[in-house]
């Protein structure tokens, strides 16, 4: 696993794209602070950049560095969630502008699997995590379901076995600084 993490970090530092297993589905990733890298993800997915992407952090301390204010309830949600849960936060900071939604929010998930935690911890920055498919196409549940176009469009494919055989996308909850909570995807 160390070799895979080092290979990913090299690509991420160069502004490249990786295809990697996340705590949910296989994802396309890049340095979440690099606008050029983020642009490549939108191009590969054939997705409008007005449709925001999810960002992964290694731990709560990294989350706190990239959101102006983390509502208290966010910690409860993270602690009590029974499956990977992405939270949409107001006022992200230190992130590529083209990753931030028009309403100045960003969807962030604290990674729960060891590979992502180690990778992001060693990289020391958040990484983009978006499903490994062309926008509008079905989300691939396993590596074998990933389209050749996606495999050719990334700079590095992580060589780890499918760990999530029944992978499903994360839940998404929007937490506004004014206390509003909205479930976007269960």
Query: How confident is the model over 32-50, as pLDDT tens digits?
Result: 999 999 999 999 999 887 7
For residue 181, give both structure tokens.
Answer: 């909570």
Q: What is the pLDDT of residues 146-170, one digit of tens each?
A: 999 999 999 999 998 766 556 677 8
Residue 143 CA to residue 53 CA, distance in Å, equals 20
Do residues 22 and 57 make contact, with C-beta atoms less than 8 angstroms apart?
A: no
**How is residue 27 written in tokens?**
């994802």
Greatest pairwise CA separation for the chain in angstroms: 44
What integer pLDDT is reported at residue 71 of this predicted model? 94
Q: Over 90: is that where the pLDDT of 9 sits?
A: yes
Under a CB-based contact definition with an 8 Å cutoff, are residues 123 and 111 in contact?
A: no
What is the band of 178 on the pLDDT scale with cuts at 50, 70, 90?
confident
Just give the CATH number of 2-185.
3.90.870.10
Residue 123: what pLDDT? Answer: 98
For the whole model, what pTM was predicted?
Answer: 0.92
Which tens digits make up the pLDDT trace of 39-97?
999 999 998 877 789 999 999 999 999 999 999 999 999 999 988 999 999 999 999 99
Tell me: the pLDDT tens digits for 111-131? 998 999 999 999 999 999 999
Show me where the domains of the chain are located: 2-185
Tell me which of 185 and 151 has the higher pLDDT. 151
The pLDDT, as a whole number, for residue 168 is: 76
């Amino acid at each position: 696993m160390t070799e895979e993490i080092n290979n990913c970090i090299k690509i991420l530092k160069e502004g490249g794209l990786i295809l990697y297993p996340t705590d949910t589905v296989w994802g396309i990733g890049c340095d979440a602070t690099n606008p050029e890298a983020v642009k490549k993800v939108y191009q590969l997915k054939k997705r409008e950049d007005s449709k925001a992407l999810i960002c992964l952090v290694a731990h709560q301390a990294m989350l706190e560095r990239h959101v102006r204010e983390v509502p208290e309830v966010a910690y409860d949600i993270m602690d009590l969630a029974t499956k990977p849960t992405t939270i949409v936060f107001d006022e992200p900071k230190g992130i590529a502008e083209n990753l931030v939604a028009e309403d100045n929010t960003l969807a962030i998930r604290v990674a729960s699997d060891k590979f992502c935690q180690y990778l992001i911890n060693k990289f020391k920055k958040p990484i983009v995590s978006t499903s490994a498919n062309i926008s509008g196409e079905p989300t691939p549940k396993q590596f074998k379901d990933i389209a050749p176009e996606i495999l050719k469009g990334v700079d590095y494919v992580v060589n780890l076995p499918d760990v999530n055989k029944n992978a499903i996308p994360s839940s998404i909850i929007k937490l506004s600084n004014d206390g509003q909570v909205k479930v976007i995807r269960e």
